[in-house]
């Protein structure tokens, strides 16, 4: 059998164009209705044949990422090994491009990439749906990192329906070096919303604007129910949103549980102006222009091949 010695998979970070939060369900998770879009900021995972499971991390804020069995990519490899009964091992080399604890699901992208990379390395040959089921066990955002593009997520955010989006949208990200804890943001949301509706819904107008490829329409319906909770925990986020409002950005919201703030631009030229304006305000540690939608977890290249 020909087995690759190493496999390189890339998975995207995401933003939530709409994040509607409802009451906590029986599983302890909040019911969500969200629209995800994968953007051009990536996690790269190289899976190399090894004894047992091990992991190393380089790239953006790598020092803050655990390299033991608590890392979601390690747990992904372990889950796949347990589910398939393979005795094979792996060393995962992760290069981070998505901010850590930034509300863009970087850890979930690592887990999705690790699932696909190990499946290819080990030749366990799971179908995409089977990988999706394992992904949902790892975290609410992991299935989306596998599928990418634009999708509606309900349930915990893990039950996905692909959404049509025409053309490319240009986004400006204002990132912070200090992450926010997702469970903490949901806890503050609980305090702020003692009588939450059980099941939230996504605005049809947003879906229409996506199909039309209309950034002005999308801008009108950008919404994040977690934003007030993120701002309560990190009041400076309001300054970041104000900086976008003083720029040519069409609208800006906190991404997911924050602290990344995402602004939408009318096009690439405007995006450069938005980025320059937000940078000049001095309210963010890093400001980047990205586009979406991007593909989900995918094979970049088989790094090498050897005959077993």
Of 141 and 270, the one with the shorter C-beta distance to ligand C5P is 141
Give phi and psi for 249, each to the nearest 5.
-60, 145
CA distance 186 to 199: 16
Residues in a beta bridge with 54: 91
DSSP state of 71: S
Of 229 and 274, the one with the shorter C-beta distance to ligand C5P is 229
Q: What angle do CA 186, 175, 267 make, to 5 degrees?
A: 110
Of 184 and 301, the one with the shorter C-beta distance to ligand C5P is 184
Helix, strand, coil percent content, the chain, rounded in steps of 5: 35, 35, 30
Sign of the Cα pseudo-torsion (77, 80, 83, 86, in order): negative
Chain positions contacting ligand C5P, by CB under 6 A:
29-30, 32, 139-141, 156-157, 182-183, 186
Of 4 and 200, the one with the shorter C-beta distance to ligand C5P is 200
- Structure-token pair, residue 256: 């997911």
DSSP state of 284: -
- CA–centroid distance for 147 within its chain: 11
CB 139, min distance to ligand C5P, A:
4
Q: 96 catalytic, yes or no? A: no
Q: What is the largest CA-CA distance in the chain?
A: 61
Asked if 287 and 175 count as a contact pair (C-beta separation under 8 A), the reply is: yes
Residue 194 backbone class (left: φ over 0; alpha: ψ -120 to 50; beta: rest): alpha
Of 106 and 263, the one with the shorter C-beta distance to ligand C5P is 106
CB 110, min distance to ligand C5P, A:
12
CA distance 21 to 34: 8
CB 190, min distance to ligand C5P, A:
9
CB 39, min distance to ligand C5P, A:
18
CB 259, min distance to ligand C5P, A:
15
Asked if 39 and 14 count as a contact pair (C-beta separation under 8 A), the reply is: yes
Of 64 and 214, the one with the shorter C-beta distance to ligand C5P is 64
Among residues 44, 110, 119, 141, which one is catalytic? 141
Q: 308 catalytic, yes or no? A: no
DSSP state of 148: B
CB 45, min distance to ligand C5P, A:
18
Q: Which residues are catalytic?
A: 14, 141
């Amino acid at each position: 059998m020909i087995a690759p010695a190493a496999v390189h998979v890339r998975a995207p970070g995401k933003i939530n164009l709409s994040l509607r939060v409802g009451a906590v369900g029986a599983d302890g998770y909040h019911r969500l209705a969200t629209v995800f879009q994968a953007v051009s900021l990536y996690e790269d995972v190289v899976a190399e044949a090894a004894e047992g499971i091990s992991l190393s991390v380089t790239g953006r804020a790598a020092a803050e990422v655990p390299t033991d069995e608590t890392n979601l990519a390690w747990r992904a490899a372990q889950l796949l090994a347990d589910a398939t009964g393979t005795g094979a091992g792996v060393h995962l080399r992760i290069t981070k491009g998505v901010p850590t604890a930034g509300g863009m699901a970087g850890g979930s992208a690592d887990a999705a990439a690790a699932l696909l990379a190990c499946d290819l390395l080990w030749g366990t040959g799971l179908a995409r749906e089977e990988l999706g089921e394992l992904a949902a066990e790892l975290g609410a955002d992991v299935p989306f990192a596998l599928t990418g593009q634009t999708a509606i997520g309900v349930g915990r955010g893990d039950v996905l329906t692909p959404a049509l989006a025409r053309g490319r949208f240009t986004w400006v990200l204002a990132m912070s070096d200090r992450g926010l804890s997702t469970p903490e943001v949901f806890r503050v949301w609980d305090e702020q919303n003692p009588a939450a509706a059980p099941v939230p819904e996504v605005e049809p107008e947003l879906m229409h604007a996506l199909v039309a490829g209309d950034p002005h329409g999308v801008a009108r319906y950008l919404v994040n129910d977690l934003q007030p909770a993120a701002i309560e925990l990190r009041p400076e986020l309001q300054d970041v949103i104000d900086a976008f409002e003083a720029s040519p950005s069409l609208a800006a919201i906190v991404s997911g549980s924050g602290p990344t703030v995402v602004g939408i631009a009318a096009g690439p030229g405007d995006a450069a102006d938005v980025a320059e304006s937000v940078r000049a305000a001095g309210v963010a540690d890093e400001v980047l222009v990205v586009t979406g939608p991007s593909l989900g977890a995918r094979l970049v290249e088989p790094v090498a091949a050897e005959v077993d």
